[in-house]
Copies of this chain bind each other. A is one copy, B any other.
Amino acid sequence: MPELPFTLDQLRILKAIAEQGSFKKAADLLFVTQPAVSLQIQNLEKQLNITIFDRGGRKALLTEAGQILLEYCQRILNQCDEACKAVEDLNSLKGGTLIIGASQTTGTYLMPRMIGLFRQKYPDVSVQLQVHSTRRTGWSVANGQIDLAIIGGQLPSELENLLQIAPYATDELALVLPSKHRLSKEKELAKEDLYTLNFVTLDSQSTTRKVVDELLRNSGIEIQRLKIEMELNSLEAIKNAVQSGLGAAFLPVVSIERELASGTIHKPLMIDLGVKRELKLITNPSRYTSKASEAFKRDILPQFSSFKTI
């Protein structure tokens, strides 16, 4: 290896001698014997072809070359200390960045609360939330651009082997009605009742809509028999439409928590309807897991998986 003309230990010794004014005291400070100090300085002087200290007098004094070297030495050692601190901060979660991926719905309604909790616990870790399609999110995790993600959809099969996919929570898609809808008075609805309703749905292009349709089909609902009153392009718009009495909708429970609590939207009981999908936590097992990512999985995810929503 094309050798460097000095080592950090040598610089540390140099600094100690300069501060203490003596080889002996420097040795004591560094908990080594005094010959070790002498030897290292001799090596340093040999390697750099300079004299660093004028010894002999009662004090070890720096030569001009020594003074010049000391200045660099101090800068270098300071940088080293800073580097250590930065790494320690990273380890103790006093720094660093956590990048989380999510789908539209989780990203809008669930992740903000999780991230809020996380940042409350680790205020020095900055968090980025990237809301993308399941597909793109999956690739981002594979590439390491995202530390972890929660997805609902199906990943491309190539990714299924590459990624660690863990069931995380159950996403319930709830039928909701305007509060003053005639059926809101009923104690429980049956599947057949659905066909009497007018629906407000997501844009038929959207992937989420496709997932919703798929889930409904799997629950034994003939979607072509459902009457679509309106197609909108955001959950918020749909919520507003429902609240205005324009029709019924299937919405993730998390997205309407506030409205259910305040009674502006009604969620009737439907015993025989299990419109659910598994939400999965995906991570990349072949990649380094940051401390922040570990902390998120350990401290934040469990609290929300008990929700069993979205």
Interface residues of A (CB under 8 A from B): 1-2, 4-9, 12, 30-32, 48-51, 54, 56-57, 61, 63-65, 68-69, 72-73, 75-76, 79-80, 82-84, 86-87, 90-91, 96-97, 144, 286-288, 290
Q: Which residues of B contact A68 (CB under 8 A)?
A: 83, 86-87, 90
Contact A290 B64 (CB under 8 A): yes
User: How many copies, total?
Assistant: 2
- Mind listing 7 A-B residue pairs with CB under 8 Å? A2-B31, A6-B80, A7-B7, A7-B8, A64-B97, A64-B290, A72-B83
Closest Cβ–Cβ distance, residue A148 to chain B (whole Å) = 14
Closest Cβ–Cβ distance, residue A101 to chain B (whole Å) = 16
Q: Report Cα–Cα, A109/B63, bound state, in Å.
A: 30
Q: Which residues of B contact A5 (CB under 8 A)?
A: 84, 87
Q: A91 — nearest CB in chain B belongs to which residue?
A: B49
Q: Report Cα–Cα, A53/B86, bound state, in Å.
A: 17
Give the residue of B9, B51, B90 whose beta carbon is less than 8 angstroms from that of A1: B9
Q: Report Cα–Cα, A290/B73, bound state, in Å.
A: 20
Contact B30 A64 (CB under 8 A): no
- A4-B80, A80-B4 are known contacts. Are A90 and B72 too (CB-CB below 8 A)? no
Q: Which residues of B contact A64 (CB under 8 A)?
A: 90, 96-97, 290
Closest Cβ–Cβ distance, residue A293 to chain B (whole Å) = 10
Contact B63 A87 (CB under 8 A): no
Q: Which residues of B contact A49 (CB under 8 A)?
A: 87, 91
Give the residue of B9, B12, B48, B76 whose beta carbon is less than 8 angstroms from that of A76: B76
Q: Which residues of B contact A54 (CB under 8 A)?
A: 144, 286-288
Give the residue of B7, B50, B86, B96 whose beta carbon is less than 8 angstroms from that of A91: B50
Q: Which residues of B contact A65 (CB under 8 A)?
A: 87, 90, 96, 290
Q: Report Cα–Cα, A7/B96, bound state, in Å.
A: 24
- A1-B31, A76-B80, A286-B56 are known contacts. Are A61 and B144 too (CB-CB below 8 A)? yes
Q: Which residues of B contact A1 (CB under 8 A)?
A: 9, 12, 30-32
